Homo-oligomer: A and B are copies of this chain.
Amino acid sequence: MKRVMLTISYDGTNYCGWQTQPNGITVEEIINQKLSELLNEEIIVIGASRTDSGVHSLGNVAVFDTNTKIPAEKIKFALNQRLPEDIRIEDSREVPQDFHPRKNKSRKTYEYSILNRRIPIPMLRLYSLFQYVPLDVEKMNRAASYLEGEHDFTSFCSLGGNATTTVRTVYVCTVTKEGDMITIHIEGNGFLYNMVRIIAGTLIKVGLGVYPPEHVIEILEAKDRQVAGPKAPAQGLKLVKLEYPDL
């Protein structure tokens, strides 16, 4: 018996998110099905990030236990041949039996993309939020800096998560612009339910001039979801990578 870790990229457009659920096809479900077929045993993976419907990934992580004799590093190639084109295994490797993708210490990186110009670009519509009002990136970046550090992120959390604490550490939160594309880059030790999308929705309000950058400090202090901005749409969000320092 060995534990195998998968690093998984997907285009979230056609999936009802990561986690298996009754109302639609999910990435987790497809992976369980194709792995079970490939290894000829029933496989149920444990995923790291339960991304929402429409959210993309360049590096979500999942583990499973198997009796297969196929070397862990070969599983990615065999599995990719069976998966639909919008899901790909970027890496597969053996990890210690006690490694758990949600319980082990990790550093997560997300990006939120905003196309900020007068007219949308069709090829980018599924991978960014379109916003035609010019956003003040300098102000957004200042607001973002107030989120760095250890804070209680209750104000940036939707109901329905199952976290035991609402305190998280954000290592990096920056807003940059290249051409017409604004990128919110955020790294932390963990994120609450919808936290990155609510941060994005709040920073967009700062960029529009609705909130001054310093209002973010008050939002954190209020510990009240009602005072933060709206949850930004899913298609702008992508999970960039998960790193496990102890692995």
Contact = CB atoms under 8 A, between A and B. Distances in A.
Interface of A: 9-11, 56, 58, 76, 80, 85-90, 119-123, 125, 127, 238
Contacts of A9: 119, 121-123
Contacts of A120: 80, 85, 88
19 contacts: A9-B119, A9-B122, A9-B123, A10-B122, A11-B122, A11-B123, A11-B125, A58-B123, A76-B119, A80-B120, A85-B120, A85-B122, A86-B122, A87-B122, A88-B120, A88-B121, A90-B119, A123-B127, A123-B238
A238 B124 CA distance: 13
Nearest to A11: B122
Contacts of A10: 122
From A58, A85, A123, A238, residue with most partner B Cβ within 10 Å: A123
Contacts of A11: 122-123, 125
